[in-house]
Every structure is written in C-alpha cells, then in structure tokens.
Amino acid sequence: MSGPQPAKARPGDEKLTVTHAQQGDTKAFERLYRVHRDRIYGLCWRLSGGNAALAEDLLQEAFVRAWNKLHLFRGDSSFGTWMHRLAANVALSDRRIRLRRVKREQPMDEGTERTATGAKDVAQALRMDLEQAIGSLPERARTVLVLYDIEGYRHKEIAEMTGMAVGSSKAQLHRARKLVREALES
C-alpha cells in the first residue's frame, strides 16, 4: 500500500482498460491493480482480522485469480465491484480451508475459531480502537460485520458467500456489534 495514489479512473476509461487487459495487455491489468489494490487490501485486512501478512497474500491471490478469470468478466457491474466480490470469495475460501485444517487437528470450541486465525481475545486489551476491536472478533462474527457494516453487502449476499443461513448472518452481526461495543467501552 505504498507509493503514490493513482488517480480515479473514469468509468469509460476503466471499461477500455478492462478490454485491453482481457486481450492480454499486462500493463492494462497493472493499471487496474493500482486503482483497486488499496480498497481490496482493506477488505482482505479486515477479513483476516488485521493480519497484514495474510491480507497481502489474499490481495495477491485475488488479483492472480482476477487475471485468470478476466475473460469471465462481462461488465454487468463495474470492474471494482467484480474485483471486490472476487476478493471477498478468496478471503472466505481461505478461511474455510484454515478452519478445516484446525478441525482435523483438534475439536472446535469457542476459543479455537479465534486461535485458528491469530485473532486476539476480545477482552484482551483495554481501550482498543475500532480496527483492533473488529480484528479481535471471532471469525464468523468479524466476517459478517465487515461484509455488512463496512462493505455494504446484504444478509442474503453474505449468506450466499459464506454458506451460512440468512438468520445466522443476522445473529452474527448482532453478536459482532455487541462485542465491538463491549471492547470499546472497556
């Protein structure tokens, strides 16, 4: 996330850039990367509980997948929206893989879900700032909070992306908000 910030591309310019990238122009894809990397990194960082190294890995994986799947982009939405959804799916897929690995190693309990991602215990530090409070949430609660409150997805979309029921998404959001409030009040 270092270096000069790219200028915002106009929608018509971006469509042309995407077309060039779909035709194999790596410089065009690099321009798309520069325009969208910070927002995608932010999403990955939040979904990984503030783990910068994991967020960087997820960012790179998301753009590698975008390059490989660019031919599937039809332009029904903006490239940024498509890329954002792809990155969220990469992060959620990574989470599922990590949790499966933990399940094979030991039985899951309330603390294991947090430990599997390196997230901090909610009650660990006094006076956490908001990002720390979000990063310390249990993974499912953090995922729903980030996707709903920060990224603007609806519960139905979150349910489709995560494989949980809409009601579970709502319950996790309620849980996450309560835990963040408690962490910020302590």
3-state secondary structure 47-93: HCCCCHHHHHHHHHHHHHHHHHHHHHCCCCCCHHHHHHHHHHHHHHH
Instruction: Tell me, yes or no, whether 89 and 159 share the same domain.
Output: no
Tokens of 37: 């990397």
What pLDDT sits at residue 171?
94
d(CA 125, CA 103): 28
- What's the whole-number average pLDDT of the chain? 82
Question: What single DSSP character describes residue 4?
Answer: P
pLDDT band (50, 70, 90) for residue 104 = low
- Can you read off the two tokens belonging to residue 90? 């990469």
Query: What average pLDDT does range 141-164 have in this prediction?
Result: 91
110, part of any domain: no
Q: Are residues 75 and 142 in the same domain?
A: no
Rounded Cα distance between 3 and 139, Å, is 31
Same domain as 127, residue 92: no
Point out the domain boundary residue: 81, 105, 129: 105
Average pLDDT over residues 85-97: 89
Greater pLDDT, 129 or 3: 129
- Chain segment 1-16, per-residue pLDDT in tens: 444 444 455 656 899 9
pLDDT of amino acid 102: 61
Residue 7 in tokens: 């200028």
